[in-house]
Chains A and B, each alone.
Chain A
Amino acid sequence: MEAGSTAVKPVGDTGASVSPTGDRPRQPRRDVVRRPAWRQRLSMLDAKVSPYVFVSPFFVLFLVVGMFPLGYTAWVSVHQWGLLSGQGDFTGLENYRRVLEDRYFWNALRNTISIFLLSSIPQVVIALVLAGLLDTQLRARTLWRMSVLLPFVVAPAAVALIFGNVFGDRYGLANEVITWIGLEPIRWHVDTLASHLAIASMVNWRWTGYNALILLAAMQAIPRDVYESAALDGAGRVRQFTSITVPMIRPTVIFVVITSTIGGLQIFAEPRLFDTQGLGGSDRQYQTLTMYLWELGWRVRDLGMASAVAWLLFLIIIVFALVNLLVSRRAGSLKGVHRRPGSPKGARR
């Protein structure tokens, strides 16, 4: 760990594990100073009650705005529920059946996964290389780090507008370049794969530098003598990178993948703003699940079906997270080195 980069002290326990219990704090020593009895009682009351007072604003608010809506979504999803007409009859799992029978649901699921794969795989690879480049004795290293983070401050909506222009079907910069080198122009808004690539490129552009910094932090925790002995064995830079660096930061890589899964499965702004109509193309070739949810709720005006989609999306995210977890358990035998306080919630865009 180098000095200059740490404006704050290291956070949390240094293992990769997420321990809910932590260290048991010691009891405040209440017996040292003699106080009047009423003050002492007050102080004891304070010690007993205050912790609950401290945590309760969070729990109350979180239950109201976080948990209750999730439960209520389930309630809405088993009713007929129009945007304008409001609550109707109880219909059991009818909404789920209609969603699962709707070809646009499966279409949206395919698109979401495709865009997610196209955005996360190259992103992790490039971020790894970038982190490797940054994990050297650079001059002006803070400046380099800040530079790679620059795209992160551009909001997805702005990113979508900029890239939407670059990937214009007839008049965009990307096609100008492609035709200039003598290739056929690509119909970015029409072809399914091309549109996914264009949308994934927005995600990649915004998040690669960010993830590189996370990976860089993990790389810097690798003891330098490991490299030294490898160098003595005659391993070159690239060899060191692939056989030491990457395996040693695998838990962090998995963490990056998990967070981009939770975010990536909810991708909305980029595909939504990719054209002016906001439905994901003529064949909904880039309509994602969240866009589908929006369309059902606010265009088709069926909140019941939209709620069913929300729950299905929730389940899909859990499945993906569990798969990731299993993978990371297996990879966990390689000692985790990255210091993280835990996985953040997936509000990514």
Chain B
Amino acid sequence: MNRRPGFFVYGLLTAFVLGSCAPLYWSFLVGSHSREVLTKRVPPLLPGGHFWENAQRAVDAVPFWKALGNSLIVSGTVATSVVFFSTLAGFAFAKLTFRGRTPLLVFVVATLAVPTQLGVIPLFIVMAKLGWVGSLWALIVPGLVTAFGVFFMRQYLLDALPDELIDAARVDGCSLFRTFWTVAVPAARPAAGILWLFTFMATWTDFFWPLIVLPASNPTVQIALQQLQSGYYVDYSLVLAGATLSTIPLLVLFVLTGRQMVAGIMQGAVKG
């Protein structure tokens, strides 16, 4: 059937995409003007020349670079760990037989919908006992595994990894771990990449838990943003320059991997 879209479809889509970009543009716009300009009744529609100056002030106002480093360390570690442990467990669930496999898998599925972040209070108490409040461990350790990751990798490997490959590796005398490493890991790579991306993004954008455990002096990017805003006077040139600046790393990631993200969402790699 001919479903070639007409002007109408393109028009609506363009309008929608403009709407998607508008807030970001606005953020950049405000961030690129000096404060005086913004108090004028009619806001400017073209960027001003003060973006870097405002961004510099934002970077000076909060430990921005440290926040960026912290976010990279935490999100990178969590995403890598989730992918590793999920692939390992997912492989076992998909391709190995062992007693208790079915009930264990049911357990994984049952916990998918459990909002683990409701455990913040005991986590806080435990982190306090361990002396981890204020350090990045408090963010990393609770994120090391997710039930979703295990289930996702298991579902992928079920189809993507032919049993014959495993058999062949076993015949060659490979241990199960070697089999996992040489056969399952390469086969899992596309799904692992997607899981990594989404876990990274979810960790990067998390706000609730870091707000509780991290001090102002050792923030993630999101907490640094919150500090920018909570100043006793809110200088929007500075705040939105900071917001824009903080979005750049994910924008870069998006430009590089947007295709994979789209593919991932369309295949269900959601909200790791």
Contact = CB atoms under 8 A, between A and B. Distances in A.
Direct contact of A and B (CB under 8 A): yes
B13 A154 contact: no
B152 interface: yes
Nearest to B88: A54
A214 B267 CA distance: 8
Contacts of A145: 262
> Which interface class (under 10, 10 to 19, 20 to 34, 35 or more) fits A?
35 or more
Contact of A8 (B17, B41, B267, B271): B267
Nearest to A177: B43
Nearest to B17: A147
Interface in B112-147: 112-126, 141-147
> Which interface class (under 10, 10 to 19, 20 to 34, 35 or more) fits B?
35 or more
A209 interface: yes
A228 interface: yes
Contacts of B61: none
A297 interface: yes
A149 interface: yes
A202 to B, nearest CB: 9
Contact of A150 (B21, B194, B259): B21
Q: Which of A68, A73, A224 has the most CB of B within 10 A?
A: A73
A165 B250 contact: no
Contacts of A165: 26-27, 30, 236, 239-240
Interface stretch (A99-107, A110-118, A189-197, A336-344): A336-344
Nearest to B172: A33
Nearest to B198: A344
A342 B194 contact: no
Contacts of A331: none
B272 interface: yes
B93 A55 contact: yes
The dominant DSSP class at the A interface is helix
Interface in B223-261: 225-226, 228-230, 234, 236, 239-240, 243, 246-247, 250-251, 253-254, 258-261
B16 A130 contact: yes
Contacts of A349: 205-207
Contacts of B193: 8
Given A69-B116, A146-B262, A153-B201, A9 B270 contact: no
A51 B9 contact: no
B222 interface: yes
A198 interface: no
A46 interface: yes
B147 A72 contact: no
A147 B247 contact: no
Contacts of B39: 171
Contacts of B155: 11-13, 341-342
Given A12-B158, A157-B226, A176 B122 contact: no
Interface in A250-307: 259, 262-263, 266, 268-269, 272-273, 276, 278, 290, 293-294, 297-298, 303, 306-307
B182 interface: no
B191 A348 contact: no
A133 B122 contact: no
A234 interface: no
Contact of A343 (B13, B102, B113): B113
Interface string A207-223: 00110011011000000
B156 interface: yes
A340 B268 contact: yes
A136 B5 contact: yes
Contacts of B205: 155-157, 349
A68 B228 CA distance: 35
A181 to B, nearest CB: 14
A20 to B, nearest CB: 5
Contact of A153 (B151, B191, B250): B250
B258 A146 contact: yes
B104 A310 contact: no
Contacts of A186: none
Given A5-B266, A146-B258, A29 B167 contact: yes
Given A67-B111, A147-B20, A11 B268 contact: yes
Interface string B168-204: 0011010111001000000000110110000001101
A58 B89 contact: yes
Given A310-B120, A346-B115, A149 B247 contact: no
A346 B175 contact: no
Nearest to A87: B125
B7 interface: no
Contacts of A276: 229-230, 234
A227 B1 CA distance: 7
Contacts of B262: 5, 142, 145-146, 149, 213
B85 A61 contact: yes
Interface in A151-183: 151-159, 161-166, 171, 173, 176
A187 B9 CA distance: 35
Given A8-B191, A11-B159, A158-B247, A149 B4 contact: no
B143 to A, nearest CB: 8
A11 B152 contact: yes
A33 B171 contact: yes
Given A151-B24, A161-B228, A346-B113, 5 more contacts: A51-B176, A55-B92, A161-B239, A228-B1, A269-B222
23 contacts: A8-B190, A11-B155, A11-B268, A11-B269, A18-B109, A20-B102, A21-B102, A33-B171, A58-B89, A65-B145, A66-B116, A66-B145, A137-B3, A144-B17, A152-B261, A154-B24, A214-B265, A231-B1, A269-B222, A276-B229, A303-B125, A342-B268, A346-B115
Q: Which 3 A-B pairs have the closest CB atoms?
A: A69-B119, A12-B155, A72-B122
